Amino acid sequence: MSSTGGVVPVGTSSAAVNLAAALEPAQLELARGPLHVELPGAVRDRIARCREFVLEVSGSGRAIYGVTTGFGPLVEFEGRADSVGQSDNTIIHHIVGHGELLPPAVARAAVLARLFSLAQGRSGVSEQVVDSLCAMLDTEFAPAVPKLGSVGASGDLQPLAYVAHALRGHGNALFQGKLMPAGEALTRAGLKKLELDGRDALALVNGVSVTAAALGLAVAQAIRARRSAELLSALMTDVLGCGTEFTSVGLLAAFGHPDVADSGAAIRTWLEGSTPSGERPLQEVYSIRCTPQLIGAAGTSVRHAEEVVRRDLNGVSDNPLFFPEIKEVVHGGNFFGQPSAFAADQLNVALVQLGNLAERQLDLLVDPRRTSGLPPMLSPAPGRQHALQGVQISATATVAAMRRAAVPASVQSLPTNLHNQDVVPFGTQAAFVALDQANLLRYLHAALAVALRQAVHVGARRPQAPRLAAVLDRIAEEVPPIVEDRPLDVALGRVADLLDRVVSEVEGV
């Protein structure tokens, strides 16, 4: 599949975000490349005020978690007296992750998410930490972060510790996509090693920013997937000459679900200019007739996940929080990623059902009994050429993998950390699964698009709706007709990218 992993290219110049504005989930995709982060004076001032307050209370003899104490269940013991040593304590004991590395785009998105939390001026970090994160994002540097190790409870301690570790010049990092020692990557990127004290270090690791980043990226792709499902369902309806009564305005309004009505409207818009052939059954199978209800319901789950992750991205996940305006230090649990855990699991299920739909639509297309006589497997010479046969088998394997991964992570709580973390949300794992599912769904949609293109080649009608005909022509430019069997893996990746571009253009992205 495509190396872009579902991210729609936006050009080669550095993009920009502003720390004084709200961070939208879709903006996380900008962090895959150099990203300029604007740090307005008002934001810098509130960071500095909070930092001054932290230094003030730290010198007062008052106990502050992670500044004067040990971590987790060792909070009852004093921490190290020197700030550098306290910083080491925070980070180094979490450098125990394993598994494959996060894609650089995900690791960099996590840095962007963490930066927005720190910029709220409640964590007490030094200005140089924020400046360093901004500088990193403006380069092609990415921390090397193992995927496994976080339970998403005291924030994403392990993966964010790897972020801090790499920025300090330890462990590994990537520069321009190449893995190397972190110190070398920093030098190549023109970055200085990050120096931290105990509060800086804890603030960097003690939040749900990896979870929020992964879920935000999944949501951005899921929004495109919902629109791709509508487009492909409309294209299938037109190519087969199906009736369009199932998209009736009154019918869908009577159902009472706004997102269902919205999906029906989208399908109707794509179908403008198309007329039924009159050769299809009075009522189509559910993979055509019930598409507004299915896709619309998935859209509701996507909207919910988008709202949850937007709140995570613009809230403060850390412990403790500092309120200099009222001279308070508040210890609590704003690192507990339960909202995103629930939302990611719900999104996961919706993505699987969209995958089920795409796989069933593909199955319908390759079956001559249900396509008014199109050849089996859409082959121009059945037996001598196999056309979509391998694609369908791969699609079946893909949807099976998606189903197997649909077990909720948010209810898998296991006590750990001497029962300090006696209930945990596993939001990080839920978000990673949702992101994986969103990328697997790209493959299924690409497979369906290639099948629709091939169906027209072997005898189905060319779309009558002008907008659908234009989309089919764009697919045909990427994938010549299958006259003789050939590898299709690269072509499927190109079509997945094309679908992302098409629906993004429609949405005005």
Q: Where are the beta strands (DSSP E) in 154-219?
A: 172-175, 178-181
Residue 162: active-site member: no
Tokens of 430: 């839920």
C-alpha dihedral (75, 77, 82, 83), degrees to nearest 10: 0
Exactly one of 65, 162, 286, 443 is catalytic; name it. 65
Rounded distance between C-alpha atoms, residue 432 and residue 35, angstroms: 23
| 327 and 53 Cβ atoms separated by less than 8 Å | yes
Rounded distance between C-alpha atoms, residue 160 and residue 91, angstroms: 9
C-alpha dihedral (271, 275, 277, 282), degrees to nearest 10: 80
DSSP bridge partners of 329: 322
Per the listing, tokens 């993004």 go with 504
Tokens of 104: 């650089």
Rounded distance between C-alpha atoms, residue 497 and residue 263, angstroms: 22
Rounded distance between C-alpha atoms, residue 71 and residue 381, angstroms: 68
| CB contact set of 7 (below 8 Å; sequence gap of 6+) | 29, 32, 105
**Which residues are tagged catalytic?**
65
